[in-house]
Amino acid sequence: MTEPAKGLFIRTHGCQMNVYDSERMTDILRPLGYRAVDTPEAADLVILNTCHIREKATEKVFSELGVLKRLKDEAGGKMRIAVAGCVAQAEGEEIMRRQPAVDIVVGPQSYHRLPELIAQVSRQTGDRLATDFDVVDKFDALAIDREVDGPSAFLSIQEGCDKFCTFCVVPYTRGPEYARSAVEIIDEAKALVDRGVREIVLLGQNVNAWRGAAPDGGGEWELGALIARLSQLGGLERIRYTTSHPRDMTDDLIFAHRDVAKLAPYLHLPVQSGSDRILKAMNRGHDAKRYLTIIETARKHRPDLAVASDFIVGFPGETEADFEATLALVREVRFASAFAFKYSPRPGTPAASLPGAVPDAEKDERLQRLQAEIGRGQQAFNSATVGRVLRVIFGRPGRRPGQALGYSPYLQPVHVDDAASWIGRSADVEIRSATQSSLSGEIRAHAELRT
């Protein structure tokens, strides 16, 4: 018997793991009759999938909940509100206390319990808060049909983090490192490719910490071996993985960049700072030299590799000299892109109680200088692709009518005019111009023969 259709609205904040989880929550709620709707007003169930990484992200949750409460009141209380994600995990009880309009709080490892939690709310019995760390249960229960949307799909292969960088909440919100089995991952990838997916993005908080038993009993695999196996799937064009940690970077993965044609020449390897003193205080487990050696080795085997990173400015005790070491590292590596954040003290993390807080004005000033330096590298990287022909996978329309937007192997956004018919497919594009943030070009005529 099919259930009557109910509206589901999920708002997702934070990283790609949350995007993946939101898709899986949609999948798990489909058998209950929930269908995605475009606005919270039209929804019977609204899920806020939250991020705890910086203070701003967390504060957003409470202001959004205020708005949702008003909508719920207007709907005569019929709407259900659930809070999921990392704020749910870290501050579940506080959320329930501060906003009584919230019906359900569900942490990232407990999404498979959503149907049960919804039933309990209707019956007004049982738990409304689920924040256990049962990641095995999660993936077992989520092993159901996925709906795909476009040519590119996320596939979560690893969760959690044991690194305990002193600034970061992730080890507390996502729990210890857990790797899904190779067999499970290959099956999910096959199902995606059967549904027309051309690009798979392997996800993990520390994706290169993934290890697993080889499916044929041939010992243990590292990420490079998994990627090599996935590359054998016919119809799959491109594989990416994100985010990696320098401590888990092995030769096996670097060699995959040399040997596996379908592996995109793109490495997101956050370094956070260029100062050894700060890296130590952050508990990153490596110094700047080690980072530079990894990049050098990777580029030796894959010279066109696009390298991306994350940075934090204004970590407690960061001096002008420390910050300049970061700028120097940026100049040396020449990143294809990078994210820079102002340090945000997170309750319960060791760095939050360190002395030497950097004034906000100084953080702002460093952020601007760092972003300018990153921008120069990004412009140079993009400009160097002008005149080249790059394979682009087109996922959606661009801003101009008829325009298609896709991504190059180096994860550069590429706009092509009069190319709407290419959306959902890939084509060879001759790059004609570059800005700091994107490229534009034209489809090469012969590309049609190749798809």
> What are the structure tokens assigned to 364, written together?
């702002």
- Shorter beta-carbon distance to ligand SAH: residue 62 or 341: 341
- Shorter beta-carbon distance to ligand SAH: residue 29 or 168: 168
- Shorter beta-carbon distance to ligand F3S: residue 89 or 440: 89
Strand order in the sheet with 199-203: 152-156, 199-203, 238-242
Which of ligand SF4, ligand F3S, ligand SAH, none does residue 346 bind (CB under 5 to 8 Å by kind)? ligand SAH
Amino acid type, 97: R
Q: What is the nearest approach in angstroms of ligand SAH to the Cβ of residue 202?
A: 14
Integer Cα distance of 289 and 275 in angstroms: 10
Q: What is the nearest approach in angstroms of ligand SF4 to the Cβ of residue 441?
A: 35
Q: What is the nearest approach in angstroms of ligand SAH to the Cβ of residue 70?
A: 31
Q: What is the nearest approach in angstroms of ligand F3S to the Cβ of residue 82?
A: 16
Q: What is the nearest approach in angstroms of ligand F3S to the Cβ of residue 293?
A: 28
Using an 8 Å Cβ cutoff, are 237 and 426 in contact?
yes
Using an 8 Å Cβ cutoff, are 394 and 198 in contact?
no
Residues lying near ligand F3S in the complex (CB under 6 A): 14-15, 17-18, 51-53, 85-86, 169-170, 173-174
Which of ligand SAH, ligand SF4, ligand F3S, none does residue 164 bind (CB under 5 to 8 Å by kind)? ligand SF4
Which of ligand F3S, ligand SAH, ligand SF4, none does residue 240 bind (CB under 5 to 8 Å by kind)? none
Q: Where are the alpha helices (DSSP H) in 302-436?
A: 320-333, 360-383
Which of ligand SAH, ligand SF4, ligand F3S, none does residue 88 bind (CB under 5 to 8 Å by kind)? none
- Shorter beta-carbon distance to ligand SAH: residue 206 or 382: 206
Which of ligand SF4, ligand F3S, ligand SAH, none does residue 226 bind (CB under 5 to 8 Å by kind)? none
- The answer to the question of residue 12 lying near ligand SAH (CB under 6 A) is no
Q: Cβ of 432: how many Cβ atoms within 10 Å?
A: 12
Which of ligand F3S, ligand SF4, ligand SAH, none does residue 179 bind (CB under 5 to 8 Å by kind)? none
Which of ligand SF4, ligand F3S, ligand SAH, none does residue 415 bind (CB under 5 to 8 Å by kind)? none
Backbone angles phi, psi at 245, to 5 degrees: -120, 135
Q: Which long-range contacts link 190-194 to residues 24+ away (Cβ below 8 Å)?
A: 190/233, 191/145, 191/146, 192/146, 192/148, 192/153, 192/155, 193/233, 193/234, 193/235, 193/236, 194/235
Integer Cα distance of 119 and 101 in angstroms: 17
Integer Cα distance of 99 and 102 in angstroms: 6
Give me the 138-177 binding string for ligand SF4, x by CB under 6 A, dash otherwise.
-----------------------x-xxx--x-xx------
Helix axes 114-123, 16-29, angle to 10 degrees: 60
Integer Cα distance of 120 and 247 in angstroms: 43
Q: What is the nearest approach in angstroms of ligand SAH to the Cβ of residue 268?
A: 8
- The answer to the question of residue 54 lying near ligand SAH (CB under 6 A) is yes
Return all residues near 180 (Cβ < 8 A) that are at least 6 apart: 139, 156, 157, 158, 212
Interacting span for ligand SAH (CB under 6 A) from 166-174, 182-190, 387-395, 429-437: 166-174
- The answer to the question of residue 172 lying near ligand SAH (CB under 6 A) is no
Closest CA to 10 of 31, 26, 33: 26
Integer Cα distance of 406 and 34 in angstroms: 30
Query: What residues make contact with ligand SF4 under the rule CB under 6 A?
Result: 161, 163-165, 168, 170-171, 205-206, 245
